[in-house]
Amino acid sequence: MELKVFKIDGSESAKTVTLDDRIFNVEPNDHAIWLDVKNIMANKRQGTHNTLERSTVSGSTRKLKRQKGTGGARAGGIKSPTIRGGATVFGPHPRDYSFKLNKKIKRLARFSAFTYKAKENKIVVVEDFSFDAPKTKAFVEILKKFNLQDAKTLMLVNEGNRNVYLSGRNLPRTKVMRAIDANTYDVLNATDLIICENSIADINKMLGE
């Protein structure tokens, strides 16, 4: 699959790039996508939630009232789960939500994500560019050239574009990341994909081998 390369002013250049069909033109596997996204979201969970049980909640162990003759239900200590401020029964405790997913499934999921973007014509390839310093205003101007200033956009850059990353970091609907770090969730979570020209080789090298 060949795509035209655009300049940052929105005009077409004379260059084209070839997208590897093994990555951008496969039979999408929705189940692999679901597994990979589930894995990514699970790995992001902190799992630091905790509740107090009878052995950890603060309170006296003195029996609140006598067992019989009160006309009400029996009551133990103040730490009982049935009393306001008492312990929690079967509450959550710190745990690790991450789980292992085979590399082949993760690769297939990323293939499928890139393929969906290619089939939807949501991929724009731009010439490599850089800023002397972080310039959010200049970054927004580039998005406007492609009418993507209001779209949820993911830009994939190569290793040396730190100022470009810093320029787009504060934009709420834009994410800039290295091409070698692209994952299934971020690709599908964006409506449009902007790929810098040299990043195509990074993607092909990362996933095509």
pLDDT in tens, 21-79: 889 989 999 999 999 999 999 999 999 999 999 999 999 989 999 999 999 998 889 99
C-alpha angle with apex 197: 185 to 26, nearest 5 degrees? Answer: 50
Q: Is the pLDDT of residue 93 over 90?
A: yes
Strands (E) across the chain are located at: 2-6, 12-18, 123-126, 153-157, 174-178, 192-196
Contact (CB, 8 A) for 6 and 14: no
Q: To the nearest whole number, what is the mean pLDDT of the chain?
A: 91
Predicted model pTM: 0.83
Domains along the chain with CATH numbers: 2-45+98-208 (3.40.1370.10), 49-96 (no CATH)
